[in-house]
Structure 1
């Protein structure tokens, strides 16, 4: 089993902004997406590409996971982005609007042809209705694909849906993508929250995402980091209860007892597995520093 890597907070950073790339070295994000797509204007694509790839190859981002979002497969910049990003060797290449397993195979072949190191994974953004319907095929297409990233803004646009508290119009798509990720043992990240001043609404959406089962959330502003890191981490109460469950289960096993209860509730193997996961997540976050 691959060791758990915290991806509670995954922050987009504009690739054309040198100050932003420098600032990212000090931010408490688990992962960074150095962006060559939406945040970079067409006339700045080449300069942004050089800047982002130099940053990704610098080794100056500490324990933060560093990824590069390239332009989409159907754009004139995609091939050059892939070649440059492969040479930079980031932790992952983030590809927008992945709609099929065939596109995953194309991305994988392009990375291999460009000499990308084995450690450079593929993160596939799923953000269209057809991607929701094909989410399992996309997630299962390659071992190199390790993360699904929800593109909720584009999904809402394609659905002709409104952005509303609770995200009711998106729940079907979110559920399909989550099922695909869990069926294929892939990480899945929730989409962005657009109103950077609405901290209460942002916290509620983080809580919803965690309750759904997302591993973390993509962010558009450093001011969202603290809330996101807190919500997607086990609380002290969860850690204490998990320790209590494991202690009780191990004691019962040692004594040959088949029935285990904690605080009046029956404990089964699935509860023990959940408790162990909570402790492994908490330990990974703690070790991350």
Structure 2
């Protein structure tokens, strides 16, 4: 299912579904996407209450242009089916499903959403957090051609657990998983969101990890605390220099004197038609961010 090409998803903030105060506070936060969580952030005995709290919050609205995503429990759990039924019709933009490992999982989720009455434009986001998901990543991404699959969200904490890996600042243990997931996402037109940074007080560490994610090509980052929003929003947005250069590229190729040319020199750099495509995307994203922030 098509995804808005230039919708900002720089910052995707997890909000615990059981915390009604947090759900209310989210209406004033500078997050592009809010992920209302029914899985990891909610204790088993609070699942039903959290489900109702999210239904109430999304039904009441007030979140402006922010994208709303509900992370459900897995369909194999005792809560998953009820989570999905609620999320399908609560007014959210998408659901986020955990621990998928195959294309068949995507088909099952897609069918369940349709059966639950989900709108045709409701997206399906999935957590990439299991070793088998990495081995099957192309098969999972390919399901986007026949389903509402719209986004990958990296679950690096779960990957660390499953890998029995050490989480180091360079994320060496996860580079293969991150890069394969990115390649599959881009090959099949999916949004790709990087995993969380756990140390809320380490601002410099967050900057470094956001920069790494941006370098790898991710569209944004999942976050666990509002204090992380400004960094993610800055790093995953085109810089003023990027926008200025992109506009120069567009103007150069639009110049009648350059008609028919496939290679130009712009600001001293060799620039091809592929750079024109990226320049247009950069300007469009900058405009989308400005429109979002003005809404």
What's the TM-score bracket when you normalise by the shorter of the two chains?
Answer: over 0.9
After TM superposition, give the deviation of residue 263 of structure 1 in Å.
2.6
Q: Is the partner of 1:207 in helix, strand or coil? A: helix
Number of corresponding residues? 289
Q: CA deviation at 1:135?
A: 1.2
What aligned pairs does 1:178-189 form with structure 2 within 5 A after superposition? 178-189=182-193
Secondary structure of the residue that 2:35 maps to in structure 1?
strand
The aligned runs of 1:114-263 (5 Å cut-off) are: 114-142=116-144, 143-251=147-255, 254=258, 259-263=263-267
Q: Is the 8 A contact 1:260 1:268 kept in 2?
A: yes
- 1:254 deviation in Å? 4.7
Matched residue of 1:266: which SS? strand
**Secondary structure of 1:173's aligned partner:** helix
Take 1:38 and 1:263, find their aligned partners in 2: how far apart are those partners? 49
Sort the Cα spacing of 1:251 and 1:45 in 2 relative to 1 into closer, same or farther, 3 A. Answer: same
Contact 1:252/1:258 (<8 A) preserved: no
Q: 1:272 to 1:74 in 2, by over 3 A?
A: same
Runs of 4+ displaced beyond 4 Å: 252-259
1:21-68 deviation line (CA, Å, top 9, x unaligned):
000000000000000111111111111100011212222111000011
Which 5+ residue runs of structure 1 have no aligned equivalent?
none
Give the distance between the partners of 1:185 and 1:276, measured in 2 at CA.
17
Give 3-state SS (helix, strand or coil) of 1:241's partner.
helix
Matches of 1:194 and 1:36, distance apart in 2 = 19
User: RMSD between aligned alpha carbons?
Assistant: 1.4
CA distance in 2 between partners of 1:74 and 1:131 (Å): 17
The answer for the alignment partner of 1:264 in structure 2 is: 268
CA distance in 2: counterparts of 1:257 and 1:212, whole angstroms: 30
Asked whether the 8 Å contact 1:71–1:77 carries over to 2, the reply is yes
Encode CA deviations 1:147-197: one digit per residue, 9 max, x unaligned: 110000001111111010110110000011001100001001000000000
Cα distance in structure 2, aligned partners of 1:124 and 1:154: 13
| Residue of 69, 77, 80 corresponding to 1:78 | 80
**Conserved? CA contact 1:14–1:20, under 8 Å:** yes
Report if the CA contact (8 A) 1:56-1:67 is conserved.
no
Asked whether the equivalents of residues 34 and 68 of structure 2 are also in contact (C-alpha less than 8 Å), the reply is yes
Q: CA deviation at 1:258?
A: 5.6
Which SS does the other structure have where 1:166 is aligned?
Answer: coil
Is 1:64 the counterpart of 2:66 in the alignment?
yes
Aligned to 1:148, what secondary structure does the other structure show? strand
Match of 2:32 in 1: 30
Q: Cα distance, 1:87 vs. partner?
A: 2.3
Residue 51 of structure 2 corresponds to: 49
User: Which consecutive unaligned segments of at least 5 residues does structure 2 have?
Assistant: none
> What is aligned with 2:7?
5
Distance 1:257 1:6, change over 3 A: closer
Corresponding residue SS for 1:111: helix
Higher RCO, Cα 8 Å, sep 6+:
2
Give the Cα separation in 2 of the matches to 1:225 and 1:113: 36
Q: Is the 8 A contact 2:154 2:193 kept in 1?
A: yes
